[in-house]
């Protein structure tokens, strides 16, 4: 065979091999992609991701991964946080289809071991998704999809975003460029309320330490500790979703700002009153201002009103008709406003 013919023949083989490889990969990636199309999958993330957890943001990672899997499978996914009820019973009963667990800490109960199967490890922390055995095809879908997805840049970005070590903001550590996995959402929604994104980040840190699974004893939930009733006022139902939580929280802030958008209140005090109202409610802030007016204190200056708050502990100290909501232990609110503003001042210097 002539040299030119040999070269042409070799090139032809390379092209044919590439075509078949690409075709084979396409088949592998889509082999099970139609099984879940149009269905709703219910998932429960049974992994702790509280305010003081040092191992990254695992709940956010799985929330994002579940949504990406659902997008690929052309199905919808409804994701629940940790419940008070037994998560394994939730799975076995069919109330959820996927249970996200940490296999290092959460072993399958003996009585359920023959009824469930788990996925391959989804990260280096040996966290897996568990399904009922009859849903093995769902698990095959996941394993096939994930075997390709974990080789992508998207997966590496998820790992870097949710499991990186976020340095605490301090003058000792120096400037930082990233505060949390939710910086882009915070920047986007801060514009809707006219705030520097670092101020909104300071509030979110105060509320949840950037943990989407944070939950208070009063029923507030998520990054901005929004109550379901508050979110419902803005037609938002899923406050476990980080974006929906921030959306609800900022819509609430936007509403609160209207109370203090007065020419006699300067921009700094407008922010402080809004923060106080976010923490204690606009009714409490109105009571503080009314008592300040009664005492001859500048009711448009938050720092001047701070001394008034201490007197609201005892209802007997306040004449009838001055305030509407009764006694108020306001130290928490004073501390809340001071800490958010102090953190924001640090962020302005150290977050670029």
Cβ(116)–Cβ(131) below 8 Å: yes
Residue in 40, 207, 303, 339 annotated catalytic: 207
- Residue recorded with tokens 């030119």: 4
Angle of the 58-73 helix axis to the 136-149 helix axis, nearest 10: 100
Cβ(189)–Cβ(250) below 8 Å: yes
| Cβ neighbours around 229 below 10 Å, total | 8
Per-residue 3-state assignment (H helix, E strand, C coil) for the chain? CCHHHHHHHHHHHHHHHHHHHHHHHHHHHHCCCCCCCCCEEEEEECCCCCCCCCCCCHHHHHHHHHHHHHHHHCCEEEEECCCCCCHHHHHHHCCCCEEEEECCCCCCCHHHHHHEEECCCCCCCCEEEEEEHHHHHHHHHHHHHHHHHCCCHHHHHHHHHHHCCCCCCCCCCCCECCCCCCHHHHHHHHHHHCCCHHHHHHHHHHHHCCCCCCECCCCCECCCCECHHHHHHCCCCCCCCHHHHHHHHHHHHHHHHHHCCCCCCCHHHHHHHHHHHHHHCHHHHHHHHHHHHHHCCCCCCHHHHHHHHHHHHCHHHCCCCCCCCCCCCCHHHHHHHHHHHHHHHHHHHHEC
- Active site (annotated) includes residue 316: no
Strands 127-132 and 98-102: antiparallel
Q: Which residues are catalytic?
A: 207
């Amino acid at each position: 065979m002539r040299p030119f013919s040999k070269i042409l023949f070799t090139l032809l083989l390379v092209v044919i091999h590439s075509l078949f490889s690409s075709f084979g990969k396409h088949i592998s990636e889509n082999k099970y992609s139609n099984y879940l199309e149009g269905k709703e999958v219910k998932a429960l993330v049974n992994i702790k991701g509280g305010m003081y957890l040092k191992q990254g943001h695992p709940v956010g990672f799985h929330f994002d991964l579940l949504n990406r899997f659902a997008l690929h499978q052309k199905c919808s996914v409804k994701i629940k946080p940790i419940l008070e009820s037994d998560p394994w019973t939730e799975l076995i009963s069919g109330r959820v289809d996927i249970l996200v667990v940490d296999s290092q800490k959460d072993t399958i109960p003996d009585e359920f071991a023959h009824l469930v199967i788990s996925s391959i490890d989804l990260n280096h922390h040996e966290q897996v998704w568990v399904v009922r055995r009859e849903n093995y095809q769902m698990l095959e879908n996941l394993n096939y999809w994930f075997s390709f997805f974990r080789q992508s840049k998207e997966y590496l970005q998820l790992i870097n975003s949710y499991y990186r070590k976020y340095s605490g903001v301090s003058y000792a550590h120096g400037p930082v460029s990233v505060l949390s996995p939710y910086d882009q959402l915070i920047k986007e929604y801060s514009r809707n309320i006219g705030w520097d994104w670092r101020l909104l980040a300071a509030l979110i840190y105060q509320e949840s330490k950037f943990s989407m699974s944070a939950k208070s004893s009063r029923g507030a939930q998520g990054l901005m500790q929004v109550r379901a009733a508050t979110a419902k006022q803005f037609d938002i139902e899923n406050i476990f979703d980080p974006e929906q939580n921030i959306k609800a929280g900022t819509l609430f802030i936007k509403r609160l700002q209207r109370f203090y958008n007065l020419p006699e209140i300067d921009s700094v005090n407008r922010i402080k009153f809004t923060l106080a109202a976010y923490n204690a409610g606009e009714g409490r802030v109105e009571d503080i201002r009314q008592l300040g007016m009664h005492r001859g204190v500048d009711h448009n200056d938050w720092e001047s009103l701070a001394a008034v708050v201490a007197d609201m502990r005892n209802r007997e100290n306040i004449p009838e008709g001055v305030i509407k909501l009764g006694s108020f232990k306001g130290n928490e609110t004073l501390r809340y406003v001071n800490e958010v503003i102090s953190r924001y001042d640090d962020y302005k210097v150290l977050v670029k």
